[in-house]
Amino acid sequence: MKEFSKMKTIEDFNFKGKKVLIRVDFNVPLNHNRQITDDTRIKESLPTISKILEDGASVILMTHLGRPKGGYEHDYSLTTIVPVLSKFLNKNVIFTRDLFSDKTKKVAAALKPGEVMLLENLRFYKEEEKPNEAFAKDLASLADCYVNDAFATSHRNHTSIATIAKFFPNNKYFGLLLASEIKNLNKILYDAKPPFTAVLGGAKISSKIGIIKNLIDKVDNMIIGGGMSYTFIKALGGSIGNSLVENDRLEDARSFVQEMMLKGVNLYLPIDACIAEGFSELEDFKMCDIDKIPSHMMGLDMGKRTRRRFAEIINKSNTILWNGPVGVFEMERFKQGTKALAISVAGATISGSFSLVGGGDSVAAINEYNLADQISYVSTGGGAMLEYVEGKELPGVQALLT
Ligand code: AMP
C-alpha cells in the first residue's frame, strides 16, 4: 500500500449527526484479578474516538479481548474496560452484553451525539474469527459509518476487520492510529533516507524469513542479533556450543549471506557474546568470541565489543528499523545488550535519524528504559507490523481501500 494519498482517513470527513462504528483494539493485558496492567492500547484509540465525538457524532466501539473459545467467558468480558474508558473519555459508556438483542439495537438507534456505546467482546461469537457476512451485516446495521483503528488486528481476516467494510462502500475510514502506523511503516519501506539499517533480533530465524527477504532489497545495513544470529554463525562455520540454533535453517542463513553480498547489503553479525552454562539467572557468565563458544556453554546476550560495533553502525544511519531483542532480555543478567541497543537507537534519533521500533519485546525494552519519547515511531502492532514489513497486504487495510 504505497500510495498513502489513497487512504480516506477520519480527518477527511465531518461526522456530525452520524452514528460511527469504530473497530478498536482494546486487547489489553490483564492480571489474574482481571485488572488492566497496561492501558496503552486504550489510550492509543482516544484521538480517533475524540475527533469523531467532537464532530458531533455518536460512537459505537467494538473490540476483542484475549482468546475466548467462541462463547461467553467472564474473564474476557469487556466489563473490565468500561470504567477505564469512561475515565479517559470523561463520560458515561453504555455497555451492551448481547450484540444482537432488540434492546441493543434500540439503544444504538437512540444514541445521541456525544454518546458512547461499547459492544461486548466480539470473540464471544465464533463468527468473528471466521469471516461471516450475516454477522457483519448485523453489526453494520447499527451505524452509518465504519472506522478501523485496530492496526494490531488488521492482519486478521476477521469479520469486524475485513468483511464488514463492504457494508459501508462509501463510508469507511482509516482511524488516526491505523493511518499513522501505515504512514510511518511506508516511510521505512518506500521512502527511507539512506543509510537504512534494519536491526533484527529474537529467538528464531524461521519467524523472520519473510521480513529478511523483503528488507534485503531495501536496506544498506542488516544487523542480526539475538538467538537467531547463532544459526548464521554456525552456517558460516563458527562454534556456537549449546546456543539456540535452527539446524534446518542453516541453508537459509547461507543463502541470505550470499544474497546480501551480491546485492551489496552490509551484514553485521555479533562478534562476541555473553555466555553461560545454562538458561538461568543464577549462572556465572563471561565474554567470548562469537565463533568460539565452548561446547558446554551458550550465548545469551551480545558481548561488549558487539554492542560498540552495532552502536557505530546505528549512529551513522539515517533510517533505523528495530524488531526483536538481541539477548534473553527477560533476565537481568542478559539484558545489557538489548539495553545498549535501545540507547543507541534513541541516541541516533536525537541526532536526527528516523527510527521505528516494533514488536512486543522491543517495545517493552524501549518502555522499560523510558526511551519511547526518543524514538520517532513506536509501532503498536506486533504481528501486523511484521506482516506489513514482509510486504504482505493486510486484510483490514485492503478492505478499506477496495
Ligand atoms: P521473538 O519472539 O522471535 O522476537 O523472540 C523473542 C525472544 O528471543 C525473547 O524471549 C528472548 O529471550 C529470546 N532470545 C533473544 N536472544 C536469545 C538468545 N541468545 N538465546 C535464546 N533466546 C534468545
**By alpha-carbon position, which residue is closest to atom 4 of ligand 1?**
202
Q: Do both 98 and 121 map to the same domain?
A: yes
pTM metric for this prediction = 0.93
Residue 396 lies in a domain: no
Shared domain for 227 and 173, answered yes or no, is no
> What is the distance in A from the centroid of ligand 1 to the CA of 325?
6
130 and 104 within one domain: yes
Sheet holding 377-378, edge to edge: 266-268, 221-224, 196-200, 319-323, 354-358, 377-378
The answer to whether the Cα torsion of 399, 380, 43, 25 is positive or negative is positive
- Mind listing the pLDDT tens digit of every residue in the chain (402 residues)? 555 667 899 999 999 999 999 999 999 999 999 999 889 999 999 999 999 999 999 999 999 999 999 899 999 999 999 999 999 999 999 999 998 889 999 999 999 999 999 999 999 999 999 999 999 999 999 999 999 999 999 999 999 999 999 999 999 999 999 999 999 999 999 999 999 999 999 999 999 999 999 999 999 999 999 999 999 999 999 999 999 999 999 999 999 999 999 999 999 999 999 999 998 887 789 999 999 999 999 999 999 999 999 999 999 999 999 999 999 999 999 999 999 999 999 999 999 999 999 988 899 999 999 999 999 999 988 899 999 999 999 999 999 998
> Is there a single domain that holds both residue 163 and residue 228?
no
CA–centroid distance, 301 to ligand 1, in Å, is: 9
Structural domain boundaries, residue 17 = 4-178
Catalytic residues: 41, 204, 360, 383
168 & 196 share domain:
no
Substitution candidate for ligand 1 out of 205, 229, 244, 368 with most atoms within 8 A of CB: 244
C-alpha cell at position 141: 446495521
Closest ligand 1 atom to the C-alpha of 301?
A: 19
Q: Does residue 68's CB lie within 6 angstroms of at least one atom of ligand 1?
A: no
- Which backbone phi and psi does 58 adopt, to 5 degrees? -105, 155
Asked whether 325 lines ligand 1 (CB < 6 A), one says: yes
**Ligand 1: residue whose CA is nearest its atom 21:** 227
| 44 in any annotated domain | yes
Q: Which atom of ligand 1 is nearest to the CA of 327?
A: 16
- In terms of domains, do 202 and 160 share one? no
Instruction: Find out whether the beta carbon of 303 lies less than 6 Å from any atom of ligand 1.
Output: no
Domain CATH for 250: 3.40.50.1260
Q: Let me know whether 32 and 142 are in one domain.
A: yes
pLDDT, tens only, 80-107: 999 999 999 999 999 999 988 899 999 9
The helix (run of H) or strand (run of E) holding residue 214 is helix 209-216
Residues 66 and 208 in one domain: no
Pairing relation of β-strands 116-119 and 58-62?
A: parallel
Residues whose CB is less than 8 angstroms from the CB of residue 101 and which lie 6 or more positions away in sequence, other chains included? none
Shared domain check, 198 and 167? no
Ligand 1 close to Cβ of residue 361 (< 6 A):
yes
Cβ of 324 closer than 6 Å to ligand 1, yes or no, is yes
Nearest-atom number in ligand 1 for the CA of 330 is: 12
pLDDT tens figures, 274-317: 999 998 887 789 999 999 999 999 999 999 999 999 999 999 99
Is 300 a pocket residue for ligand 1 (Cβ < 6 Å)?
Answer: yes
* Cβ-proximal residues to 32 (8 Å cutoff; 6+ apart), any chain: none
